[in-house]
């Protein structure tokens, strides 16, 4: 039977892909701990900022909407308004 020349067949392509994939996985597994160490060394210390205070105008508007819908009494509205303005 004559030997085929040119592009590899299906099995040749599968074998080549397996070799390339295995090599890439091995190299990646070997390099990952080093990359992790560099990342930890280069990462700035984490600082946690306090959450931004909610917009008072938006809160007062929402409160006024609740009062106009009849869901809040005048006393409840005054109490909540004082809380927002004193915060």
* Per-residue model confidence (pLDDT) at position 39: 78
pLDDT tens across 13-37, in order? 888 999 999 898 888 888 888 888 8
**For residue 67, how many other CB atoms are within 10 A of its CB?**
17
Residue-range domain boundaries for the chain? 7-43, 56-86
pLDDT tens across 42-83, in order? 767 767 766 666 788 889 999 999 999 999 899 999 999 999
* Per-residue model confidence (pLDDT) at position 76: 92
Please check whether residue 80 is in contact with residue 72, taking contact to mean a CB–CB distance below 8 angstroms: yes
* Per-residue model confidence (pLDDT) at position 69: 92
């Amino acid at each position: 039977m004559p030997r085929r020349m040119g592009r590899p067949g299906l099995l040749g392509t599968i074998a080549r892909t397996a070799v390339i994939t295995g090599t890439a996985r091995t190299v990646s597994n070997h390099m990952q701990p080093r990359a992790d160490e560099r990342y930890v060394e280069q990462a700035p210390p984490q600082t946690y900022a306090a959450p931004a205070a909610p917009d008072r105008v938006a809160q007062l508007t929402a409160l006024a909407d609740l009062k106009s819908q009849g869901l809040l009494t005048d006393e409840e509205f005054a109490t909540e308004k004082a809380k927002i303005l004193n915060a």
